[in-house]
Structure 1
């Protein structure tokens, strides 16, 4: 059967993608950001996952105020990079895994999650920056990707508890797929940041690191953090961290941390990154 072997959490700051695309990763400002991913690049090259279920949020590229799905799963064969106003990023198209994606969609809907099924869409920096951080600049991504978009842009976003429960349901769905696949789940976005208003530039390193701590081990207190705490402590865009909880929920009750990285600042936000593996007791 298919199995979830690891989870990855990472920020998806658009300026990181620009630094990669423009060859600025060696500059003094960016070196500490990318150094935190050196271990992860070596690790994922050794793991060779078949599929990544990549949880991210769209930034008004595929969706807008006309159409706001809370949870959307990409079931198509290919997803091109989006034009976010300055042309598409110079990265490969994302190749999907329709058989597994449709299986997950069916399983989640029968498990009483109201998923929106998307067969055609473009994918923006929320999805492509994490791929670049983990895989560099290949001619083709060395893994198939199932995009799972979460609304954290327009009120109301889903609760952390609902996201964690969705991760648990994804685990059940993957484990019921008969093909032998090495599957990872990535949660992206965050960490603390606010892009507008009097608190623009807010970064709360203590809260961010508390959140990273909470992903490790067997505790599930993070799933019960209310929206207002994210807003108060991490800024208006810090709510993106609920997407990491889908990844954490998919790993089961107990996790072990393989790698962790935190750096301030990158553009106007904090960069967080963690690699977890489930502890199954097998």
Structure 2
């Protein structure tokens, strides 16, 4: 039997043949789409904003807008009356345009003054909150640093443990106590007084107040900051009392449910 030439075999597959574009595209379309898997090492950007920064500036903005609208409308009305006192209208058409122009002037003056006062008061309140938060962070940082040094020195001198581990444990316990105590901070009024004085001094320097007015502005800012800090302390006290009463009420209920079971 004669040997068959492999080149003449119609069923022979060419090794050098390239796949067609249609087959490759269909193969790619058959593949599932890539799935993104979250990596645990991905960095997370977080921003902590004080609750007061979301409440006080908008409230101050609204108050400034209300006061500015009232003041601006009254000033615009008086200015228009003073400018046109020597030329009152004498006809019905003249009185119509006179009243129309006066109303437009009052509306424009009220809106302009309201926007100015709202922006000024809102920005000043936001700066006050940021200054108070900065003073608080600085005060707590200094206090924690001093207390941690004291705790480390006490742990080294007491001889409760051996080596560096005992010092680290003592420092960690002290930081946990400070974290619990910071929730009921009694020196919040001091932060408010410092922030109010700082903001009042900046306002006085920018407006170049005389000495007497500058001192009054400084005292007024300190008093307002102290009052705001006192209100925050009272709010925290009321909140802690409510939480304590809630826990006290829930515990007997759980005990009664366990007995009934």
**TM-score of the two chains, using structure 2 as the length reference:** 0.18
Compare the two structures and name the one with the higher helix fraction. 2
Higher RCO, 1 vs 2 (CA within 8 Å, ≥6 residues apart): 1
Compare the two structures and name the one with the higher strand fraction. 1
**TM-score of the two chains, using structure 1 as the length reference:** 0.17
Larger radius of gyration: 2
